[in-house]
Structure 1
């Protein structure tokens, strides 16, 4: 059974997308986080996964659609929480975050297809990664990898190849962390909820 894992934080003011402030208010940053999460979950529902699991820091809200299971995130640093997410599944799994509202069902389908590879790696342009797929999930592949630094992606990919796995790359995407990232992603994916909200907030600010 193939599983799509979405690791996310509940979109609450002061907790979600805090690096978007002070350009946006904490409430606006949370609204943008919610829109990004909704776009991501919509893509997940249209992807060819047999199971879709939201690994959530916080409580589900009215933004959660039907067809998505919800489990709480584990504790510890991000590497430990990502490892814990993979421990929830036995078959092939693709893990993504909520920072790429431009993701499409087609991209997710690619990362769920393990026919000729052991792992999929989706690099982010900030040096991290937006997706990690494993034909045979092994939480140990993530433990100890330094997270949220410029070489996170390089180190994680090296961990995969050093284990002897065949690794293929997904297209590089931009994570929404800063106001500049938000503007870029909104421009690249203008039909998303995220872009619509971003542009309306910026129009009001002007």
Structure 2
């Protein structure tokens, strides 16, 4: 998992306004905690949190924390895969962000199970806004990660398609995961909370929603 520490003014800045930086950070922390809890329920040989910042009380036991390295997001994602490959050569690796607290464990556990992953080289999770929320590689290497990610245009409506094009160009057999909304704006936050009404994220949004009323 790749994430930022939920520090006001550094995370979820597109939620402000209508949220204050403190409220946006609270939502980010709730999303982070939900996603970590979900990934805890997905069978895995190891769990890595590639973190920009310091870990807090939201971090559950059993996670190895490593700092993000590189400059742009493309470099940091590539470095995360390179670290995972170096930690456990030949083991598959799945990278998930902190912006999809509504994702259920079964959504990942089933396609990544030993039976279902036979013959699959990569897993690709497209986001509703044109980005991507998950990327998995059956046989990750630092070199492959760099070819797939370096120079990839980030935060555009075609980011996900550009990544998929690169996966296809590498002649990888790709399993496409469901399209998911990631949280960038207050509208996204409301949609995600409605999909997961019992999540920490939804409870956090309900607690601050009266102060963030805007036209829906």
TM-score after normalising by structure 1 = 0.94
Q: Check whether the contact 2:131–2:159 (CA below 8 A) recurs between aligned residues.
A: yes
The match for 1:103 is: 103
Residues 122-146 of structure 1: CA deviation (Å, up to 9, x unaligned): 0000000000010011222211211
Determine which of 171, 174, 177 is the counterpart of 1:170.
177
Aligned residues: 201
Deviation at 1:162, TM superposition (A): 0.6
* Structure-to-structure mapping, 1:107-126, within 5 angstroms: 107-113=107-113, 114-126=117-129
Gaps of 5+ in 1: 1-5
Determine which of 34, 45, 48 is the counterpart of 2:43.
48
The match for 2:28 is: 33
- Secondary structure class of the residue paired with 1:86: helix
Q: Check whether the contact 1:20–1:179 (CA below 8 A) recurs between aligned residues.
A: yes
Q: Check whether the contact 2:124–2:134 (CA below 8 A) recurs between aligned residues.
A: yes
| 1:180 and 2:175 matched | no
The match for 1:3 is: none
- Secondary structure class of the residue paired with 1:172: coil
Q: Check whether the contact 2:51–2:65 (CA below 8 A) recurs between aligned residues.
A: yes
TM-score after normalising by structure 2 = 0.90
* Structure-to-structure mapping, 1:15-164, within 5 angstroms: 15-89=10-84, 90=89, 91-113=91-113, 114-137=117-140, 138-140=144-146, 141-164=148-171
- Going from structure 1 to structure 2, the CA distance change for 1:111 and 1:76 (only over 3 Å counts) comes to farther
Find the aligned partners of 1:66 and 1:54 in 2 and give their Cα distance: 11
Deviation at 1:111, TM superposition (A): 4.8
Q: CA RMSD, aligned part only?
A: 1.2
Find the aligned partners of 2:207 and 2:27 in 1 and give their Cα distance: 11
Q: Which moved more, 1:142-151 or 1:179-188?
A: 142-151
Q: Which runs of 4+ in 1 moved over 3 A?
A: 203-206
| 1:7 and 2:2 matched | yes
